[in-house]
Amino acid sequence: MDYNQAALELHAKGPGKLTVQSLVPCKDKDALSTAYTPGVAEPCRKIVANPDDVYTYTLKGRTVAVVTNGTAVLGLGNIGPEAGLPVMEGKCVLFKEFGGVDAFPICLNAKTKEEVVAAVKAIAPTFGGINLEDIRSPECFEIEAELERDLDIPVFHDDQHGTAIIVLAGVLNALKVVGKRIEDVRIVQNGPGAAGTAIIHMLQVAGARHIIAVDEHGILVPGRPEGLDGHKAKLAEETNPEKLSGGLAEAIRGADVFIGTSIAGALTPELAATMAPDAIVFAMANPTPEIMPDQAKAAGIRVIGTGRSDFPNQVNNVLAFPGIFKGALSVRARDINPAMKMAAAKAIAGLIPDEELNEENILPKAFDPRVPEAVAAAVAQAARESGVARV
């Protein structure tokens, strides 16, 4: 199937993929006067008297804003807010179809982090949560941090945390398959941008002790001649306990796990062959991964996952974000904190019973109907236990 041509035809048909549908009919004077003026004034007065009543009388508590400025859209790069709109519409479709969550695309003509932050803060009263999407690194870190600090609704950068949650779920199950413990394995993360950095932090929360981060200039280590700045300087301090230097070849030798959020072909078969026995690889560059599954298997890799749906063990963010927001909204959470992210990862991993785990079955499929409900329940419970739930 020619997906490019099919997509053009689908998007032109609407045009677009979303519409607004009223929940109430306005077929007579009484209906109109109840849905709008004069009757609508009464919910307004209730909300003035008790601001939390906005969740009772409006769409806020079931609606998420999917926000981008178009600076890092899919693999297309800085294409701008208008060109990014089809992707954001698609994300909203996934929210609704997979999680039953209403979402609306917000594409901002905002070049700086200050403009993005100001715009999101200005629209926040309408929404129960904010899903940041396709915002370039390193601005995405600072934007998320400031919004999390200043808003009392969940803020979630899916490119970072959604990917990290699915990777952790996959790693936990892959380690069961090969009989290793997360505390003991050596992990190489290639491409420590937004997703790579979040993956490292999730793995550390889960107990990983030996992580080496590698970028296009080599291993992140303090004092590296090529230099370090921003989040990479911090990662250099938080990872690589042996203070190893060099490039990917030095990092990968004897490693148990490789996680790629980098470029096609970064992990050659020759490099993969130097990994430890029963090694695990998550090669998530799209559309062409860091190493193709057949090459990885030929090099001795035991478990291989990619971002593609035509290979086993797909790392697909749709396993995470619909259920995460569904759970967070259900308890009116103020935040999506590490405990909730960990709960989501464990819920996803737990959907594959131990007796069904194997090299090609470490993650649920995208269309598994159990996923959003399991994730939502786990996230809601973690929100209650960690004190960020309002109800």
Does residue 116 share a domain with residue 92? yes
The arithmetic mean of pLDDT across residues 201-215, rounded, is 97
**Using CA atoms, how far apart are residues 144 and 188, in angstroms rounded to an integer?**
25
Binding annotation for a divalent metal cation:
133-134, 159
| CATH number of the domain residue 82 falls in | 3.40.50.10380
Q: Check whether 238 has a pLDDT greater than 90.
A: yes
Q: pLDDT, tens digit, for every residue of 15-66?
A: 999 999 999 999 999 999 999 999 999 999 999 999 999 999 999 999 999 9
Q: The tokens 């799209």 sit on which residue?
A: 286
Last residue of a domain, one of 160, 194, 224: 160
Under 8 Å CB-to-CB from 51, ≥6 apart: which residues? none
Binding annotation:
133-134, 159, 286, 316
Q: Considering 3, 17, 27, 36, which one is annotated as catalytic? A: 36
Residue 255 lies in a domain: yes
Does residue 328 share a domain with residue 220? yes
Does residue 89 share a domain with residue 165? no
Give the pair of three-digit tokens for residue 17: 């993929």
Residue 12 lies in a domain: no
Q: pLDDT, tens digit, for every residue of 104-122?
A: 999 999 999 999 999 999 9
**Using CA atoms, how far apart are residues 363 and 174, in angstroms rounded to an integer?**
9
Does residue 93 share a domain with residue 44? yes
Give the pair of three-digit tokens for residue 92: 């909203």
Instruction: Report in angstroms the alpha-carbon separations of 25 from 22, 44, 62, 277.
Output: 7, 20, 20, 64
Under 8 Å CB-to-CB from 367, ≥6 apart: which residues? none
The arithmetic mean of pLDDT across residues 73-93, rounded, is 95
Q: pLDDT, tens digit, for every residue of 313-338?
A: 999 999 999 999 999 999 999 999 99
Q: Which domain holds residue 132?
A: 18-160
In 3-state terms, what secondary structure has residue 188? strand
Under 8 Å CB-to-CB from 241, ≥6 apart: which residues? 209, 210
Residue 3 lies in a domain: no
Q: Check whether 287 has a pLDDT greater than 90.
A: no
In whole numbers, what is the pLDDT of the chain averaged over residues? 96
Per the CB < 8 A criterion, the answer to whether 323 and 344 are in contact is yes
The arithmetic mean of pLDDT across residues 226-239, rounded, is 90
How many CA atoms are closer than 13 Å to the CA of 172, on its beta-carbon side? 27
DSSP state of 358: B
Starting at the earlier edge strand, list the strands of the sheet with 210-215: 218-219, 210-215, 186-190, 257-260, 280-283, 303-306
What pLDDT score does 352 carry? Answer: 97
Residue 257 lies in a domain: yes
What pLDDT score does 74 carry? Answer: 85
Q: Considering 60, 91, 341, 346, which one is annotated as catalytic? A: 91
Four-CA torsion 208, 228, 157, 370, nearest 10 degrees = -30
What pLDDT score does 226 carry? Answer: 84
Does residue 388 share a domain with residue 321? yes
Residue 7 lies in a domain: no
What pLDDT score does 229 carry? Answer: 79
**Using CA atoms, how far apart are residues 99 and 322, in angstroms rounded to an integer?**
5
What pLDDT score does 75 carry? Answer: 80
Q: The tokens 């100001």 sit on which residue?
A: 118
Residue 211's DSSP bridge partners are: 187
Helices of type H across 124-157? 139-150
- What is the total count of domains within the chain? 2
Does residue 353 share a domain with residue 238? yes
User: Among this protein's residues, is 91 annotated catalytic?
Assistant: yes
Percent share of the chain, pLDDT over 90: 95
